[in-house]
Structure 1
Amino acid sequence: MTTSRRTFLVLSGLSALAAAGCGTASGSGTRNTRTLRYQGSAGAVTPPELAAALGYLGDLKLDWVGNTISGPQDIQSAASGQTDFGGAFNGAVVKLAARKAPIKAVISYYGSDKYAYSGYYVAEKSAIRTPRDLIGKKVGMNTLGAHAEAMLDIYLKKNGLSRAEAEQVERIVVPPVNTEQSLRQRQIDVAVLGGILRDKALETGGVRKLFSDYELRGAFSAGTYVLTERFIEQNPQTVRTFVTGVGKALDWSRATPRDEVVARMTGIVAKRKRNESADALKHWQSYGVSEPGGRIAEKELAVWAEWLAERGDIKSGQVRVPDLYTNDFNKDLAKTGS
């Protein structure tokens, strides 16, 4: 059931995008729905799921319709009305907005810090030592046009490679669970690894970090949850409850001892009975969101608008970054005047 539902979301997303501007899944005339449909992640607990378990969403219910491993697909589903909210890398949010999708980012939900980061790893004895050594090599990542590829481009540009030289670095899509094995079998030269997959690879040994997104840019929020503008207009209190609750959950995860957070998340996975393993949670360290309450900073979207324009994916000035997001629905931020 989960797989078929996810397939339906992927196939129907594009055809429904046009309809998103004139209606939402909550239906015409509906105000402040108390249920939000969403996609989750197997073996993981998303900030909204944590917020619900902590009681921060009040009587607002989350309706899980399946899992996804693709941020661009997740926000496309939200934009097309297949779900009520979705989350993705901020570059994907900019790109979808450039296609005139009527979406708005409302809160950050993941990022990179000293605990939560993506590393770019090579075999320990690899001859790859410098950015220029990557020319002609294969870099394995979970998806193209998103976080991993953006960081690679920034790394290459920062270290003096021209656009033409950077394009000679081959980017290969590899399922996350197969990335380490692909590196060890020399099917790829560089593996992008994060979380439990990174930790397991390091425990096994024989790999060396070339760089990480955290080392490249410091702590930063990298992805946001989006809703359609019409949904926000029709359901302002729902959105306020959602954003404030998720923000409180993010802050709780930072302020609470890690063991307690992991124990709570493990209990959530066990209780929802989705036939999944909670083993990955043993390696959980942080959501990586840099701003209190999940506040969105303009620079966190602007940097990707610039990256996409440089790639030719969008035209320079095609999107106005301040129009892509709002912090208005976070009560905690409103109290501080942010």
Structure 2
Amino acid sequence: MDVLVCGAGVAGAALAYWLRHHGFTPTVVERAPRMRPGGYATGLRGEALDVLDRMALLEQAEALGLRPGDTGMADEYAAPPAAIRAGDLDVLRDELAGLLYQATRPEVEYVFGDSIATLEQNADGVRVTFDRGRPRRFDLVAGADGLHSHTRSLAFGPHERFVRHLGIYTAVFSVSSRLGTEAGGRGYRRSGKAAGVLSTRDGARVRAALHFASGPLAYDRDDVKQHKRIVAERFTDEGRPVRRLLEEMRGAEDLFFEANAQVEMDRWFSGRVVLLGDAACCAAPASGRGASQALIGAYILAGELAAGGDHAQAFASYEREMRGFVEEHQQLGREGTDRFFLGTLPQEEPGRTTVARPRLVRLKDYVPGFAVERP
């Protein structure tokens, strides 16, 4: 089948990999003119590492790992420490997406600088019109286009019906390597505000993050200058370390500015359209599980489509396999957000015991076999 995948991030590129692996013909359309730069650390936990291993990409992902102990303020709350196991991996989100893109681009069609305009479903497929390209027909459409998914809006309804704001905004941007060395992974926190700096293992790439508490804000998602003004206004009275970050932010070309939010939906598919990753079930950055959900969901969705039966059965099976896993991670996201600006980690709170949650996803061995031959 021909499958249109909307979004070239972690979820979209991983789905394209597994669809191609199982003999489908995926096409990935991405609104940005190229792979999106920037973004903060993302954690790879449990079965997500197994998925990368089955893609023969685990060693390359490990080489992208962040400097041990230098994951900045945000990562303190990215996952409760009791839920993190030995061997877990933290990487920059854009570097993980880039790794998946490089692994798929020889056999997958990527269309950058375009997006879906309309979807028209019938019994035989989906007719898709684009903002720039010619109309095309696909058997299925998968929305992997993030928290503000346009695919979700077209197939399920307006953004406001599904997105739950959690009260924090985050700005992430590159800074000079000198600042990374000076910060050494230390963070800054006060009531309603936080900052952190992280580095890759070789120190070549350094990112800063500024977080602030706020109710929903009205702004243009494409106006980077406006984003910088919003952040600068929130931190204008802080001390010199934060002022230096603001100075770096003014010249940054890769600013990522986003609300911490969750997506809550009763169903992730409608007819021949299915959602994946943050578009379907964003758990919030404070869960530390977004990229893991994306990788695991892509593996399961493509595998269920390849396992036989019609697309409706495959979509239902994919959702059934993922639901408990997602609910657990969304709970982690809410807990992490609630405690983000506190001075103690969750397991340090008096009278509180944090217990590592069980893993709820068992990776099936879908035909036609793994990408990596195993003894």
Higher helix share: 1
Class of the TM-score when normalised by the shorter of the 2 chains: under 0.3
Higher strand share: 2
TM-score (norm. length: structure 1): 0.27
* Bigger RCO (CA 8 Å, 6+ sep): 1
TM-score (norm. length: structure 2): 0.25
